[in-house]
């Protein structure tokens, strides 16, 4: 899919502050269900730093050019390219393209220039995609907050019920998924967890337990009251 690097879906930085934007074009979305897990809002990946690197002197003649391996076309068609920090080299792809570079007469320096340019373009694309996704996730939170069933004056209770359900029934893997995907901000996700949370009773049954005799209610009694043992 890519020429010189393997790029996955950019991670969305969550912020526990700010309900509806207003923090600049790169403001990170809040995270509704796990506000304490929100990472640092510093989402700078350094993708544009490489674009500011000094240009390579490719077309300028030099007395020592013939002695520099970078200014030669590799005889074996194997190119040694350097990636900036944080970028993974796809050596398999480089080796596959090596014969094509060789047939075009590209020196190692010229191949490096192509890689640098590609990384610059992909960095801009990745940043734009990350910002667009962050805007969508924040939009879900804003929509949920205005929802007639779970938002408005009911919002605080809704979030509390949803968090209670996740605390009782959720797993660390579910928490990680909801945070990394942004799904924890989706109105329907909040709605269903809030309904589940509202059905969860606190661990202090009234009158000290079933039948008011001071005993804690049996699980079978709570789940299937008609099948509870007599006496």
Domain assignment present for 54: yes
| 73 in Cβ contact with 107 (< 8 Å) | yes
Domain assignment present for 29: no
| 84 in Cβ contact with 118 (< 8 Å) | no
Q: Can you give the pLDDT of all 231 residues of the chain as single tens digits?
A: 334 444 333 343 333 334 444 444 556 788 888 777 766 555 554 445 544 545 555 555 554 545 788 899 988 888 888 888 888 888 888 888 899 999 999 999 999 999 999 999 999 999 999 999 999 999 999 999 999 999 999 999 999 999 999 999 999 999 999 989 999 999 999 999 999 999 986 544 444 444 444 444 443 333 334 444 454
Domain assignment present for 206: no
Domain assignment present for 49: yes
What CA–CA distances, in Å, run from 165 to 36, 75, 202? 16, 64, 12
**Selection from 117, 114, 111, 115 nearest residue 79 by Cα:** 111
Domain assignment present for 4: no
Domains in the chain: how many in total?
1
Q: Which domain holds residue 95?
A: 35-199
**Selection from 21, 5, 20, 197 nearest residue 85 by Cα:** 5
Domain assignment present for 229: no
Q: Which residue bears the tokens 């403001």? A: 27
What is the C-alpha separation between 77 and 80, in angstroms, rounded?
10
């Amino acid at each position: 899919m890519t020429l010189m690097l393997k790029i996955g879906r950019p991670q969305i930085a969550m912020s526990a502050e700010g309900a509806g934007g207003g923090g600049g074009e790169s403001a990170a979305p809040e995270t509704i269900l796990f506000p304490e897990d929100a990472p640092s809002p510093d989402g700078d990946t350094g993708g544009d730093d490489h674009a500011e690197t000094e240009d390579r002197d490719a077309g300028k003649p030099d007395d020592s050019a013939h002695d520099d391996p970078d200014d030669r076309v590799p005889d074996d068609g194997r190119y040694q390219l350097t990636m900036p920090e944080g970028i993974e080299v796809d050596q398999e792809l480089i080796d596959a393209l090596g014969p094509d570079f060789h047939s075009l007469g590209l020196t190692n320096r010229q191949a490096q220039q192509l890689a640098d340019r590609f990384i610059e373009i992909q960095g801009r694309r990745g940043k734009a995609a990350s910002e667009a996704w962050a805007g969508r996730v924040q939009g879900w939170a804003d929509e949920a907050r205005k929802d007639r069933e779970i938002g408005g004056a009911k919002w605080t209770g809704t979030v509390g019920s949803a968090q209670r359900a996740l605390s009782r029934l959720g797993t660390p893997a579910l928490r990680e998924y909801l945070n990394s995907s942004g799904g924890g901000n989706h109105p329907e996700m909040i709605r269903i967890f809030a309904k589940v949370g509202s059905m969860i009773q606190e661990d202090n049954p009234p009158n000290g337990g079933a039948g008011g005799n001071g005993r804690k209610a049996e699980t079978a009694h709570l789940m299937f009251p008609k099948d509870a043992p007599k006496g």
